[in-house]
């Protein structure tokens, strides 16, 4: 997997006013409820601005959450172009072993295009009800749930629809989503390592769980803004790009996260007030702006996704001008320098208190109140030598260092960055950033009563022990 660099240019040469990017960065700095991790801006096929907020880095895989859906859709598109999938065929036709079980006429009338566009006829997400009906086979559980209305008539953000689409790809190709995408999309785009969370049966989730770099997100968006062509080679059909990126179903009546989620839904893309987007929880965005010939790729940790998009529209959108700009060399240079030194502020903390050095040299802590609500499998915390914190989670130890200042990065077995320290002689507060996800766990240890508390800054949607807070590259 050879990774080729994207063509680069100055903002001004591609008609982008660096002042608008500065204003966007200022707005992020002023938003305490948005933690940015990365930003890449493409214009006219060129990378004009990119930056990563330390401790996050350019080559770091990042959990994309539901932005994964847009990659699953690309796999389905490739299979359809190869004549392996018919979007107008009934879903049940790809699962003949369920013929006798699926008797509801609406379930039997559901087409591939309906699951591709979140228009299965169900009025709410069916993930947990479907798992309740069949914990081993999500597709069967999903098809056993009779739709509330006729397929194609109502939108519902429904995880099993995308899972089912991914399973159809697996059925007709005999390969996982990654295996099928690698030679047909990922390698031609120059996308390097990716990793995808699988369910208990070993099937990639499809609707979530893909870990990839921000660069991979930018390349996918650029492929779409170029109509499916990359370096002169057609990877996705022109017809697919047109259909996937227009509203297949209305969602104007849906009360979700804000107006941006009421603009219509395509084939695993959200329509936006400007362009369209792949969209993952906590601010993982692939914003495609055909009218500006631009792509904006981001990773972040925020529950204020509408606010984040508002900042993009308020500051970055006006920066896209129709012509190259002249006399902007100093502004472009200043922007590049700022982007190169982006960093998240570490948690505050003092060094280990000398007067309590012995007490902190080997201290053990149990959950305050007898249980840890946010991470129930976290049963004990140990501090060793005032330099190391061990989190005992699901019976397994995860050791992270306690740094003196700033972020201390540890690569394995779970990549983390740690900051913080002692707030007083008897209290240790440590912020553990799990670098391949959007999430931080803040752990507070009290010598006074020998207990700890632990809370997520943003609650992970994929629950499990801490050793799984990473890209799935094998056992930990």
> DSSP string of 90-127?
BGGGG-GGGTTT---HHHHH-BHHHHHTT-SS-SS--H
In the predicted structure, residue 54 carries a pLDDT above the cut 80: yes
Residues 234-261 pLDDT 10s:
999 999 999 999 999 999 988 777 899 9
The order of strands in the sheet holding 416-424 is 396-401, 388-393, 378-384, 362-367, 451-456, 440-446, 427-434, 416-424, 408-410
Q: Tell me which of 60-74, 80-94, 119-133, 352-366 is least confident.
A: 352-366
pLDDT category at 374 given cuts 50, 70, 90 is confident
Calculate mean pLDDT across residues 124-136. 96
Residues 331-353 pLDDT 10s:
999 999 999 999 999 999 988 89
- Between 17 and 1, name the one with better pLDDT: 17
Q: How many CA atoms lie within 13 A of 388 on its CB side?
A: 9
Residue 254's pLDDT is: 82
* CA atoms of 416 and 430, how far apart (whole Å): 12
Residue 352's pLDDT is: 87
Residue 405's pLDDT is: 83
What separation in angstroms does the CA of 422 have from each of 116, 346, 347? 51, 13, 10
pLDDT category at 373 given cuts 50, 70, 90 is confident
* CA atoms of 472 and 476, how far apart (whole Å): 9
Residue 312's pLDDT is: 98
Residues 304-333 pLDDT 10s:
999 999 999 999 999 999 999 999 999 999
In the predicted structure, residue 149 carries a pLDDT above the cut 80: yes
In the predicted structure, residue 469 carries a pLDDT above the cut 90: yes
In the predicted structure, residue 386 carries a pLDDT above the cut 90: no
* CA atoms of 401 and 204, how far apart (whole Å): 33
Q: Which of 296, 340, 335 is nearest to 317 (CA)?
A: 296
CATH class for domain 354-468? mainly beta
In the predicted structure, residue 215 carries a pLDDT above the cut 90: yes
pTM of the prediction? Answer: 0.96
Calculate mean pLDDT across residues 190-203. 95
Q: How large is the greatest C-alpha to C-alpha distance in the chain, in angstroms?
A: 74
Residue 106's pLDDT is: 98
Residue 476's pLDDT is: 39
Residues 424-455 pLDDT 10s:
999 999 999 999 999 999 999 999 999 999 99
Q: Token pair of 218, please?
A: 């930018």
* CA atoms of 213 and 58, how far apart (whole Å): 7
Residue 3's pLDDT is: 63
Share of the chain above pLDDT 90, in %: 90
Strand partners, 39: 51, 298
pLDDT category at 463 given cuts 50, 70, 90 is confident
In the predicted structure, residue 91 carries a pLDDT above the cut 60: yes
In the predicted structure, residue 99 carries a pLDDT above the cut 50: yes
Calculate mean pLDDT across residues 363-381. 91
Calculate mean pLDDT across residues 284-296. 98
Where exactly are the structural domains of the chain? 12-340, 354-468
Strand partners, 400: 389
Q: Tell me which of 80-84, 87-91, 361-365 is least confident.
A: 361-365
* CA atoms of 265 and 331, how far apart (whole Å): 38
Residues 218-240 pLDDT 10s:
999 999 999 999 999 999 999 99
* CA atoms of 41 and 218, how far apart (whole Å): 8
Q: Which of 304, 355, 346 is nearest to 54 (CA)?
A: 346
3.90.1150.10, 2.70.70.10, 3.40.710.10, 1.10.3720.10: which CATH number matches 12-340?
3.40.710.10
In the predicted structure, residue 475 carries a pLDDT above the cut 60: no
Residues 390-414 pLDDT 10s:
999 999 999 999 977 899 999 989 9
């Amino acid at each position: 997997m050879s990774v080729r660099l994207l063509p680069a240019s100055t903002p001004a040469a591609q008609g982008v006013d660096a002042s608008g990017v500065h204003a966007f960065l200022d707005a992020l700095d002023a938003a305490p409820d948005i933690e940015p991790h990365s930003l890449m801006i493409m214009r006219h096929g060129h990378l004009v601005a990119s930056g990563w907020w330390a401790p996050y880095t350019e080559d770091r895989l990042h959990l994309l959450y539901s932005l994964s859906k847009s990659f699953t859709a690309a796999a389905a598109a490739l299979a359809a172009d190869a004549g392996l999938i018919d979007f107008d065929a009934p879903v049940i036709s790809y699962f003949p072993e369920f013929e006798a079980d699926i008797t509801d006429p609406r379930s039997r009338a559901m087409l591939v295009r309906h699951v591709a566009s979140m228009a299965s006829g169900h009025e709410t997400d069916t993930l947990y009800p479907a798992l309740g009906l069949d914990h081993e086979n999500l597709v069967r559980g999903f098809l056993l749930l009779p739709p509330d209305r006729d397929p194609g008539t109502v939108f519902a953000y429904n995880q099993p629809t995308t899972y089912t689409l991914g399973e159809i790809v697996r059925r007709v190709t005999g390969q996982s989503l990654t295996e099928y995408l690698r030679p047909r999309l990922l390698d031609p785009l120059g996308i390097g390592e990716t990793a995808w969370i699988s369910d208990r049966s070993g099937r990639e989730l499809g609707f979530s769980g893909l870990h990839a770099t921000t660069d991979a997100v930018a390349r996918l968006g650029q492929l779409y803004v170029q109509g499916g062509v990359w370096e002169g080679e057609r990877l996705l059909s022109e017809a697919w790009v047109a259909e996937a990126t227009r509203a297949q179903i209305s969602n104007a009546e849906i009360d979700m996260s804000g107006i941006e989620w009421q603009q219509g839904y395509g084939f695993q893309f959200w329509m936006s007030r400007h362009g369209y987007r792949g969209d993952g929880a906590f601010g993982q965005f692939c914003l495609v702006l055909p009218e500006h010939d631009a792509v904006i790729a981001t990773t972040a940790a925020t529950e204020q996704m509408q606010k984040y998009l508002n900042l993009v529209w308020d500051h970055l959108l006006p920066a896209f001008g129709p012509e190259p700009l002249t006399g902007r060399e100093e502004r472009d240079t200043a922007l590049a320098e700022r982007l190169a030194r982006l960093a998240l502020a570490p948690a505050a903390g003092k060094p280990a208190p000398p007067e309590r050095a012995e007490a902190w040299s080997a201290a053990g802590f149990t959950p305050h109140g007898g249980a840890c609500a946010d991470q129930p499998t976290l049963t004990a915390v140990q501090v060793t030598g005032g330099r190391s914190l061990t989190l005992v989670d699901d019976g397994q130890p995860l050791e992270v260092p306690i740094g003196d200042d700033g972020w201390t990065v540890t690569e394995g077995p779970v990549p983390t960055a740690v900051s913080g320290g002692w707030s007083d002689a008897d209290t240790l507060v440590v912020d553990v950033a799990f670098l391949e996800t959007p999430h931080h766990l803040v752990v507070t240890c009290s010598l006074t009563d020998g207990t700890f508390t632990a809370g997520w800054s943003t609650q992970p949607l994929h629950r499990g022990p801490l050793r799984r807070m990473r890209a799935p590259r094998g056992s930990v």
